[in-house]
Chain A
Amino acid sequence: EAQVTQNPRYLITVTGKKLTVTCSQNMNHEYMSWYRQDPGLGLRQIYYSMNVEVTDKGDVPEGYKVSRKEKRNFPLILESPSPNQTSLYFCASSPSFQNEQFFGPGTRLTVL
């Protein structure tokens, strides 16, 4: 089944404890992206990747890192999480930027 998977789906952590949210797609898509969704602010793009080893900042990249070493995986790294990174995170992929995106199920992160 064609899908985008994210892990974990739910995570409660404490300030400063490094964490990684994984994202994987099995559709051989070139474009992948991370978004966060907050009440009143809607969806905002964190980072995106046009292809392996090609990444760029979105609207709200501060406090996040990404890497794209393989086409299928695009992990989101929070080196030192803070409470303002409490949010619902979505990963998405598409064959290229000029295509409809497939979204993962979301990861609800709480930073205490």
Chain B
Amino acid sequence: KNEVEQSPQNLTAQEGEFITINCSYSVGISALHWLQQHPGGGIVSLFMLSSGKKKHGRLIATINIQEKHSSLHITASHPRDSAVYICAGDSNSGYALNFGKGTSLLVTP
């Protein structure tokens, strides 16, 4: 089973700050997912990446396959970015996903 660890567990930032959330995994993967869950519970997929870097608006996701590590960056953070961010890795040998426990982000005005 792929153990997926996220850090930090909780993060408070002021509006405008640059934010980084980290995700590491124990077993080689073919792809890693970043998800966002707002208070109220809905889950939205932000990125799926297998290598390199992806950017969507103020969000950037990077992955280093050799180091088994991925980061999610938020530039110019805003209170509406307050949410739980979850990473999930698949495995090279199956079709299941293993999830980190999530990072709870609060951005204050």
Range of interface residues on chain A? 20 to 34
Contact segment of A16-24, A67-75, A79-87, A96-104? A96-104
Whether A50 pairs with B95 at a CB distance below 8 angstroms is: yes
Partner of A98, one of B30, B47, B86, B88: B30
Known contacts A33-B97, A43-B86: does B41 contact A88 (CB below 8 Å)?
yes
The tally of CB-CB contacts under 8 A between chains A and B is 53
Which residues of A sit under 8 angstroms from B31, Cβ to Cβ? Answer: 98
Known contacts A59-B1, A103-B43, A106-B41: does B95 contact A43 (CB below 8 Å)?
no
A54 to B1, CA, bound (A): 21
A31 to B95, CA, bound (A): 9
Range of interface residues on chain B? 20 to 34
Whether A106 pairs with B100 at a CB distance below 8 angstroms is: no
Mask: chain B, 74-105; 1 = CB below 8 Å from A; 0 = not:
00000000000010101000011111111000
Known contacts A101-B33, A105-B42: does B99 contact A44 (CB below 8 Å)?
yes
User: Known pairs A45-B96, A98-B31, A105-B41. 13 more at Cβ < 8 A?
Assistant: A40-B101, A41-B101, A42-B100, A42-B101, A42-B102, A43-B86, A43-B88, A43-B99, A59-B1, A90-B43, A100-B47, A101-B33, A101-B45
